[in-house]
Structure 1
Amino acid sequence: MKSIALSALTTVLAAHLASAASPLIVDGSDFVNSVTEDRFVMVGLAYQPAGASGYDPNSGVDPLSDADACLRDAAVMQKLGVNTIRVYNINPALNHDECVSIFNAVGIYLALDVNSPLSGESLNRDDPASSYHSGYLTRIFSVVEAFKDYPNLLGFFAGNEVVNSVKSAQTVPQYIRAIQRDLKQYIAAHASRTIPVGYSAADDDTRRPMWAYLTCGDDADSRADFYGLNSYQWCGDSTWETSGYQGLVTTFSNTSVPLFFSEFGCNTVRPRPFNEIAALYGDRMIDSWSGGLVYEYTQEPSDYGLVEISSDGDATLLEDFDNLQKQYNGIDITLITSRSSLSASASPPTCSDKFILQDHAAKFNTSMDIPACPDEDLLTNGVQNANKGKIVELTEFTTPHKVYTSGGAEVANLTITPLADDQSNTPSGETTSGAGNNTGNGTAAADDAEGVASSRSVGAGALAVAAVVAVMAAFV
């Protein structure tokens, strides 16, 4: 009887995990949950274990192919309160079903770059025409095919800091709009839903004209659905005025698309206090900004990490993790999910030189003469024999790897907690590495679990899973 009951209950638990996150849509300058209609604001991280230089398509692995690693990281991120991860380099030929399903179960969305650092898989900013060809389209369309059927796919970045100089500002902008057009037309022809496509910009003199150029006009296909800015202006104990954030809000105050930091987290002061979190998710920015992605989850040579991964797969939370969690716990979730009366009514501005350039020197190519797609047959007929991902049922919920606090204690019973359908992850209210958290003994773990239950909104589906787990325990 015990084995039958356990089998049935395990089936119920696994079936619940087959769905959780609902697709997001763009409405004016907001991301919106397509089911609940709540505004979605990114509380996110850059996620590229081993760094960009570690991407090797011949290795058979990428950041979303190792289920054990994803289970470890999803459990840590769920405690931290993350709802979005940005993944820069993925291999579209690999199976990502388990990893994406794990993140989906805990309400974490994916923002993916379609390019990679390899030749033929990205746009050459010095000679964009030579790199915009059928082979390149096969690469980016294969990424679409591999991820388009995952409900927790937030969107695709068509480029990352491709425009970053006077020369690239004169030659590249038209190609970014072309790539956005190609991706959006391919999605319209081959996906079952709309998937946002946008751009991640450098925080330099081109940031405003690039935003204006990519988001203006009546050509919805080539127009960006969102605009990300890689900004490291706020360092240490900067203030609203000295950091430059005040200027950013003024510059982008009339955005017609969702605007967010596609990277942020200056590390000139260590450990990072992350005081900018209160500004980014507070009254002064929340009307026009949709959050951001902290750089970055894993500790790499650049020294921006929140978590250090050892060679055996175990992980240690760093002091930056503790500081970020403290700041995340101060976010007013009601404030950031409420929609501004202005956001939904925002409409794309006219593509005039006056709007695009403003005070910028006229060394930015404002032409709307966008290059034609180099392979219309591929666009129409699709990538042949493409790998297509799907959400799968999960059978494992506890990470096989050990995770340690910044003080060296092991985090006990580190599992993912599935959320109810249509929910996204939110800050838990706990302090994972602080006093009274999971430190390897049963009492601390129980206290932590009680704190999570009382501090976050646990949906009916999640409560049902908790009940199933309790019943299962009774049979053991």
Structure 2
Amino acid sequence: MKLSTLAALFLLHLSSVRGQTCEDFAPPAEIHGRKFFSSYSGDYLAIKGISYYPRPNEGDLTVTNSIDFFTEEYRSIWERDIEEFKDLGVNAIRIYAVDPGKNHDGFMCALKAAGIYVIVGLAAECFNCAITSDAPPLCYPAELKRRGEFIIQQFAKYENVLAFSAGNEVSLHRTSHSTENAPCQKKFIRDMRAYVQRCSDSMRKIPIGVIKADVERENKALYYNCRSDPDDELENADFIGINSYLHCDGAATGIDELVGYSKLLEDYESFGMTVPVLWTEFGCLNESFEEVEGYETQRNFLQVEALYSKTYREEFAGGFVFEYSTEKSMAQDESPYPFDTFGPDNWGVGHFEPENCDDVTTPCEYERFPEWYNLAEKYAAVDTSDEPNKLFYEREWNDPVPPTCPDEFPPLDSFAWPSELVPQLPQECPVEMPVFCAGVPLECNVVTLPPVSSAPVSCRWIVTLTLGTAIGQALLALLV
């Protein structure tokens, strides 16, 4: 290939992103105080998200909650949906299960080019892949520690990983008192934070948090924020997510009428939290919402006005609407396809068509509900320009004191944890090699060079890093 052709490719790459700044490409996020900030500018980052699991209407991809849709095998699915994310105005998504043995470069790069962050779940529906409903310490399988570290190792290279979730509602379905397996969840959080700390020479400090149902509100919030050992800085979660389905009154017209959320705000104001709190699932369904264009009970997402108001931002760092697409296998009994009637499981802001699509032999197309436009309008109107820069919170939250632990939870060191009793080789730390993404300006990638004690960086490595994989490799053909 001639050098002039390479130059043309390079200019094409630059022109495709001209007029945008690095803030538009999901730069690495940091936590200061109880909020997220851009590591580039230090500006406040309001998380405007949606939960994402693109289960089709029919076929083999509907049978489990742990299909990893985020690999090259399913590129046609996530490329379709990322365009919808951009139109919807979200800057973050939640994904619930990944296979760390597969490559996710294409998916994560496409999201970065769209300016979208990801909370990556560390659990899945496989044997020993999540905290169980057993009593501690057996509710934390030794194999789960290895799996969690492996996921972090594989995803740490992606700058748009907002955080890792160590669990989702793990105590919700306990047959006895639901606090019983919470120590297992907390020990898993601690182990994952310890891995991030151990690998701090080769990866950034990506937050490890927990997502819980909005039950036992005070006890669970305090427990995941507190430290039974005051000297153990790794014991508490880096962030807490709450799945809270409030505001079920379609007649409410202002945020002062959101009685459930007013109480939620009041409670969290009293807890003395020292970590960010996210609404990781919200968007209550109720028959009182209006019918629009033949679709019953279309949510107005008045909660968005509340969540991003100055008062609520003092306690909450943003949220994720539940969810992107209605899942036919869940909703069809009470709201049959095309889901134009009310049903308690018709959670999507859109759905897939045709009715028999399986995204294998019959591709699914995304059809927006009227409420999709309500959410897009609310997200577009969010204005957080009055938030201070991260420097303000670095001063104000220099050394926060976590709340006191509730009495009913035993200290973590009172258990003999399988993850410590079963011999395991230490998980290797991530390799210091960032991923460069098509459609993202070169200057908008954080390059972490190897330590000074490492071998010299070769010309081949510099070219590939500077110009990205495709262009860099083409230039290398001229240099070798």
Normalised-by-shorter TM-score class:
0.7 to 0.9
Among 381, 388, 392, the residue aligned to 2:426:
381
Runs (4+) off by over 6 Å: 1-5, 14-17, 377-380, 386-389, 417-420
**Would the aligned equivalents of 2:246 and 2:284 in 1 still touch at CA under 8 Å?**
yes
**Would the aligned equivalents of 1:179 and 1:222 in 2 still touch at CA under 8 Å?**
no
Greater shift after overlay, 43-52 or 372-381? 372-381
Q: Which residue of 1 aligns with 2:223?
A: 213
**In structure 1, how many angstroms separate the alpha carbons of the residues matched to 2:196 and 2:155?**
11
Q: Which amino acid aligns with 1:167?
A: S
Q: Which amino acid aligns with 2:262?
A: Q
**In structure 2, how many angstroms separate the alpha carbons of the residues matched to 1:36 and 1:245?**
32
Paired residues for 1:459-470 under 5 Å: none
Among 256, 264, 268, the residue aligned to 2:274:
256
**In structure 1, how many angstroms separate the alpha carbons of the residues matched to 2:423 and 2:30?**
26
Task: Give per-residue Cα distances to partners, 1:114-172, cap 9 Å, x unaligned.
Answer: 00122311111233433423322222222112211111001111111112358344422
**In structure 1, how many angstroms separate the alpha carbons of the residues matched to 2:102 and 2:214?**
33
**In structure 2, how many angstroms separate the alpha carbons of the residues matched to 1:213 and 1:278?**
29
Give the fraction of aligned pairs with identical amino acids, expressed as a percent.
25
Count, aligned residues? 390
Q: CA deviation at 1:297?
A: 0.9
**Would the aligned equivalents of 1:38 and 1:338 in 2 still touch at CA under 8 Å?**
yes
Q: Which residue of 2 aligns with 1:330?
A: 381
What SS does structure 1 have at the residue aligned with 2:325? coil
Among 440, 444, 448, the residue aligned to 1:421:
444
**Would the aligned equivalents of 2:190 and 2:235 in 1 still touch at CA under 8 Å?**
yes
CA RMSD of aligned residues (A): 3.5
Q: CA deviation at 1:284?
A: 2.3
**In structure 1, how many angstroms separate the alpha carbons of the residues matched to 2:144 and 2:176?**
22
Task: Provide structure 2 residue ranges, at least 5 long, that are not aligned to the other structure.
Answer: 290-296, 332-344, 358-362, 447-480
**In structure 2, how many angstroms separate the alpha carbons of the residues matched to 1:4 and 1:367?**
61
Greater shift after overlay, 262-271 or 330-339? 330-339
The alpha-carbon distance between structure 1 residues 350 and 140, as it changes in their structure 2 partners (threshold 3 A), is closer
What SS does structure 2 have at the residue aligned with 1:293? strand
Q: Which amino acid aligns with 2:396?
A: S
What SS does structure 1 have at the residue aligned with 2:209? strand
Q: Which residue of 2 aligns with 1:183?
A: 192
Among 59, 69, 80, the residue aligned to 2:77:
69
Among 246, 261, 264, the residue aligned to 2:262:
246
**In structure 1, how many angstroms separate the alpha carbons of the residues matched to 2:131 and 2:267?**
28
Residue 282 (1) aligns with residue 309 (2): yes
What SS does structure 1 have at the residue aligned with 2:313? coil
Residue 39 (1) aligns with residue 44 (2): yes
**In structure 2, how many angstroms separate the alpha carbons of the residues matched to 1:320 and 1:137?**
40
Task: Give per-residue Cα distances to partners, 1:311-335, cap 9 Å, x unaligned.
Answer: 3142222212111011112211314
- Which fold has the larger relative contact order, with Cα–Cα distance below 8 Å and residues 6 or more apart in sequence? 1
**In structure 1, how many angstroms separate the alpha carbons of the residues matched to 2:217 and 2:205?**
26
The alpha-carbon distance between structure 1 residues 278 and 122, as it changes in their structure 2 partners (threshold 3 A), is same
Task: Provide structure 1 residue ranges, at least 5 long, that are not aligned to the other structure.
Answer: 358-363, 396-416, 424-476
**Would the aligned equivalents of 1:138 and 1:383 in 2 still touch at CA under 8 Å?**
no
Residue 227 (1) aligns with residue 252 (2): no
Q: Which amino acid aligns with 1:9?
A: L
**In structure 2, how many angstroms separate the alpha carbons of the residues matched to 1:331 and 1:244?**
21
Q: Which amino acid aligns with 2:322?
A: Y
Q: Which residue of 2 aligns with 1:133?
A: 141
Q: CA deviation at 1:391?
A: 2.6
**In structure 2, how many angstroms separate the alpha carbons of the residues matched to 1:370 and 1:180?**
17
Among 180, 183, 194, the residue aligned to 1:174:
183
What SS does structure 2 have at the residue aligned with 1:260? strand
Q: Which residue of 1 aligns with 2:88?
A: 80
The alpha-carbon distance between structure 1 residues 343 and 5, as it changes in their structure 2 partners (threshold 3 A), is closer
Q: Which amino acid aligns with 2:284?
A: C
**In structure 2, how many angstroms separate the alpha carbons of the residues matched to 1:5 and 1:368?**
58
Greater shift after overlay, 258-267 or 157-166? 157-166
**In structure 2, how many angstroms separate the alpha carbons of the residues matched to 1:91 and 1:322?**
33
Q: Which residue of 1 aligns with 2:368?
A: 317
What SS does structure 2 have at the residue aligned with 1:184? helix
Q: Which residue of 1 aligns with 2:435?
A: 391
Q: CA deviation at 1:55?
A: 4.1
Q: Which residue of 2 aligns with 1:450?
A: none
**In structure 2, how many angstroms separate the alpha carbons of the residues matched to 1:241 and 1:380?**
55
Q: Which amino acid aligns with 1:233?
A: L
**In structure 2, how many angstroms separate the alpha carbons of the residues matched to 1:63 and 1:149?**
16
**In structure 2, how many angstroms separate the alpha carbons of the residues matched to 1:389 and 1:110?**
20
Q: Which amino acid aligns with 1:30?
A: K
**In structure 1, how many angstroms separate the alpha carbons of the residues matched to 2:303 and 2:443?**
31
Q: Which amino acid aligns with 1:197?
A: I
Task: Give per-residue Cα distances to partners, 1:280-339, cap 9 Å, x unaligned.
Answer: 111220121111000011221331112323331422222121110111122113145766
What TM-score do the two structures reach when normalised by structure 2?
0.72
What SS does structure 1 have at the residue aligned with 2:378? helix
What TM-score do the two structures reach when normalised by structure 1?
0.72
Residue 195 (1) aligns with residue 206 (2): yes
Q: CA deviation at 1:187?
A: 1.6
**Would the aligned equivalents of 1:237 and 1:273 in 2 still touch at CA under 8 Å?**
no
